[in-house]
Structure 1
């Protein structure tokens, strides 16, 4: 009897790598507006951090980069930066507001989130979760979510007069959200091959949510760019890869073996492995140790 592979409950996301057109401009944006700190940089690559140790974001400058029109290709809709608490979200919001950038928002019941775009139109969500014991599921076992207005006044009150010092230690990459060519094709890959669990199957929104360990979502997939949307060109700004972090070498080896058995292309680079999803988004597989 064949046992269906399920991704370990402790699995979570790590560094996101973006292709951008102007490294100086992007560093300034991600440090001053978003609140990350510069960790390392070279002529074409920079990494940014919240805790001064672990890279959360990698920026790679493309020569003669192009930026595709919004919702014209499959690929990144947004990557999401998860803050450790609501007070941190209030401080981040105050800084965003003072920057004058356009901000979207939504109270999703499981979380409160704000949405911005970087200078290359890469989408960013900055959010904080509500306590997990308040998350609710419907009769089909989907998490109940919404897009209600956020109580912004209470967030500003939490931030009070505390000085802005950037995003705090404890900030992580919470999830990624992609435009895809086909929900069914992506469902087969992310659940059938990588082993994520479906936690939100919302046909009315043309969207699918998957996660590990009962999280409200680590990956969200939509067809809002249109069914069969073309892949984002390699010379275009957008996502290069995102990272799945496994708890130890044995769990990583099991994931790699699952990819091999499904005849999915996979390549080793040092201690990490790389594969690609149906949208040609690279996925880095690594471990906590």
Structure 2
């Protein structure tokens, strides 16, 4: 499946603020299975394949704990290449006594946990796109119990080796303050299509017919404020556009919406209506 390659637009990297860099490094290496690609002081870039940064973590000066009922990260989601990889994660978490939740979403099977700062993490594997159920442009997704008996039949019996090299950032799910103008921003501005709605509380959006690259919800409360700059949580995430032309089109669309656009060290960013910062990249990786 090529939902995280050209010509699609997808989430490339998530950047988090944490309270204790050493504590977080231990967690992300020993529990999640990342490798450290680069570390400078209180900042580290984490990878699954030894080349590509999927997650960066940083301990800012005067960092403050994560606050509830704020916009920002609900979870970032790591997509594993094979169902057997998910079995490896289940067995690893059980062996380490680490608590996690789970769901069967029809399109995918997922595990849920939090890092030491309360940042949400999903680890999942997709079912084949050929069996996803679509009707009137919307894909059927649900929250059913995960069938662990069936899943564990895929067990290979090998030892834990961390995240497989084919792991990608599958999607990001955000708390936002409201949905109508947020939907307009992500659709008319950034170019994502609505593919599923949960009442008036959550939207799922994608490119290229994926079940979702972006999730948006108001579960922190309609009108929820953005967290303080010093707070633990999401610093930004990146979107990977297939070409310079595609990104330029998006920049024009954002200008028409009068959305914030700013450059930082030559890198283009925007900000959604709830204050979530998004880096707009051109995907230069070979596919």
Task: Tell me the TM-score normalised to structure 1 length.
Answer: 0.92
The Cα shift of 1:202 comes to 2.1
Q: What are the superposed Cα offsets for residues 23-48 of structure 1, whole Å, 9 maximum, x if unpaired?
A: 01101101110111110001111000
Moved more, 72-81 or 142-151: 142-151
Alignment pair present for 1:76 and 2:73: yes
Specify the alignment match of 1:5 in structure 2: none
* 1:26/1:118 contact within 8 Å kept: yes
Alignment pair present for 1:160 and 2:156: yes
The Cα shift of 1:137 comes to 2.0
SS of alignment partner, residue 258 of structure 1: helix
Moved more, 93-102 or 79-88: 93-102
Quick one: distance in 2 between partners of 1:95 and 1:271? Answer: 41
After TM superposition, the structure 1 = structure 2 runs for residues 119-134 of structure 1, keeping only pairs within 5 Å, are 119-134=116-131
SS of alignment partner, residue 200 of structure 1: strand
SS of alignment partner, residue 46 of structure 1: strand
After TM superposition, the structure 1 = structure 2 runs for residues 137-216 of structure 1, keeping only pairs within 5 Å, are 137-138=134-135, 140-203=136-199, 206-216=201-211
Quick one: distance in 2 between partners of 1:174 and 1:21? Answer: 25
Specify the alignment match of 2:270 in structure 1: 275
Counterpart among 235, 249, 267 of residue 240 in structure 1 = 235
* 1:38/1:48 contact within 8 Å kept: yes
RMSD after superposition: 1.5
Q: Which runs of 5+ in 1 are unaligned?
A: 1-7
Quick one: distance in 2 between partners of 1:172 and 1:33? Answer: 17
* 2:15/2:56 contact within 8 Å kept: yes
Q: Which runs of 5+ in 2 are unaligned?
A: 1-5
* 1:13/1:174 contact within 8 Å kept: yes
After TM superposition, the structure 1 = structure 2 runs for residues 108-127 of structure 1, keeping only pairs within 5 Å, are 108-127=105-124
Quick one: distance in 1 between partners of 2:173 and 2:163? Answer: 21
Q: Which runs of 4+ in 1 moved over 6 A?
A: none
The Cα shift of 1:269 comes to 3.7
* 1:51/1:169 contact within 8 Å kept: yes
Instruction: Say how many residue pairs are matched.
Output: 279
* 1:21/1:63 contact within 8 Å kept: no
Task: Tell me the TM-score normalised to structure 2 length.
Answer: 0.93
Quick one: distance in 1 between partners of 2:142 and 2:194? Answer: 18
Specify the alignment match of 1:18 in structure 2: 16
Quick one: distance in 2 between partners of 1:217 and 1:62? Answer: 31
Alignment pair present for 1:91 and 2:76: no
The Cα shift of 1:279 comes to 1.6
Quick one: distance in 2 between partners of 1:209 and 1:58? Answer: 24
Moved more, 249-258 or 177-186: 249-258
* 1:247/1:288 contact within 8 Å kept: yes
Quick one: distance in 1 between partners of 2:152 and 2:61? Answer: 41
Quick one: distance in 2 between partners of 1:91 and 1:271? Answer: 40
Quick one: distance in 2 between partners of 1:273 and 1:170? Answer: 27
Alignment pair present for 1:31 and 2:26: no
Moved more, 249-258 or 143-152: 249-258
Q: What are the superposed Cα offsets for residues 101-153 of structure 1, whole Å, 9 maximum, x if unpaired?
A: 22010000000000000000000000000000111023x43211111121223
